Amino acid sequence: MKRLTLTLLALTFLLTACGGRSASLTGVTWKLVSYGPPAAQVAAVPGVPTSLIFADDGTVGGTMGCNQFGGDYETSGDRLTFGPLASTLMACEHALMSQEGALFAILSGTVTYQVDGTRLTIKAEDGTVAVFDSTEIEL
């Protein structure tokens, strides 16, 4: 019985250590993959750096290809609530402005989210989604 208990504890520790970071919003830079209705996703504009970074202090920031933005967020279960996002006001080419507008619409108010490995999916109340892939932040 002791051997089984120790084995289960060791296995639990290993699974937690290996998978702990992948289920978190923080500690990574999320890069935009696609957005829009689930059945008709639009690929992120190629060759344009994007980032979505959630900090442990409840702030969020990044860029969706044109302007820098930032604001506050809170999580509760699978719910993610964004406060008002402030943004710079540069004008960019139409494709970038369109992408940015669509993302700001998704990243507003209360949405649901799911982290699955290196994928973050954010779903707005109207059903549109944004899909991100993660890379670890260099500290």
What's the number of domains the chain is made of?
1
Residue 33 is assigned to a structural domain of this protein: yes
Residue 68 is assigned to a structural domain of this protein: yes
pLDDT > 50? residue 52: yes
Structural contact between residues 62 and 53, judged by C-beta atoms closer than 8 angstroms: yes
Residue 115 is assigned to a structural domain of this protein: yes
Residue 10 is assigned to a structural domain of this protein: no
Residue 14 is assigned to a structural domain of this protein: no
pLDDT attached to residue 23 = 56
Q: Which pTM value belongs to this model?
A: 0.79
Tens digit of each residue's pLDDT (9 = 90 or more) over 72-130:
999 999 999 999 999 999 999 999 999 999 999 999 999 999 999 999 999 999 999 99
SS3 33: strand
Residue 2 is assigned to a structural domain of this protein: no
- Sign of the C-alpha dihedral, residues 71, 78, 133, 104? negative
Structural contact between residues 99 and 124, judged by C-beta atoms closer than 8 angstroms: no
Q: Residue 59 sits in a domain of what CATH number?
A: 2.40.128.270
Range(s) of the domain holding residue 40: 25-136
Task: Name the residue among 124, 117, 107 with its Cα closest to residue 54.
Answer: 107
Count of CB atoms situated within 10 Å of the CB of 132:
25
Residue 8 is assigned to a structural domain of this protein: no
Residue 53 is assigned to a structural domain of this protein: yes
Where residue 3 falls among pLDDT bands split at 50, 70, 90?
A: very low
pLDDT attached to residue 8 = 31
